Amino acid sequence: MKRAPLLASLTLSTIGLSSLALSPAVMAHAVLVKAAPPVGGTVSASPSDIRITFSEGVEPRFSKILVAGADGHAVETGAASVDPSNPAILIVPLKTALQPGAYKVTWHAVSVDTHATQGNFSFTVKP
């Protein structure tokens, strides 16, 4: 009779420990790790694209990067894609060269586990 409570305790302990071990993976979201141009940085020339590295892979069909000048006007970009060698890097090509000035990048990313995150950062193109 004492075996049943012991077995139940061991089973519950195993389930509890398993859920703790899995929780970081289950609760993970794609967060910005680095960007090119760098967050808050200054570049000497217009970049040809914007690249954001996330903490995990993202789905380019459901993710986007928008770029706007200091005047708020949108910069024309191409379709978002991921780096073939690293699906955590979201890339959007710029269709025209950026003029010197400040720019705001707004991003929305859907990770491979379907969690959505968003954010923004600024950078400057040096005159």
Instruction: Give the domains, in start order, of the chain with CATH numbers.
Output: 32-125 (2.60.40.1220)
Q: How much is the pTM?
A: 0.78
Distance from C-alpha of 13 to C-alpha of 38, rounded to nearest angstrom: 46
Please list the pLDDT of the chain residue by residue as tens digits (127 residues): 566 555 555 454 444 444 444 444 445 689 999 999 999 999 999 999 999 999 999 999 999 999 999 999 999 999 999 999 999 999 999 999 999 999 999 999 999 989 999 999 999 999 9
The pLDDT, as a whole number, for residue 16 is: 47
Specify the pLDDT at position 3. Answer: 61
Contacts of 8-13 with CB under 8 Å at 24 or more apart are none
State residue 66's pLDDT score: 98
Q: Which residues contact 65 (CB under 8 A, 6 or more apart)?
A: 50, 52, 77, 80, 90, 92, 105, 106, 107
**In this predicted structure, what is the pLDDT of residue 12?**
46
pLDDT at 77: 98
Edge-to-edge order in the sheet of strand 81-83: 32-36, 49-54, 86-93, 81-83
Residue 24 pLDDT? 46
Backbone angles phi, psi at 40, to 5 degrees: 70, 5
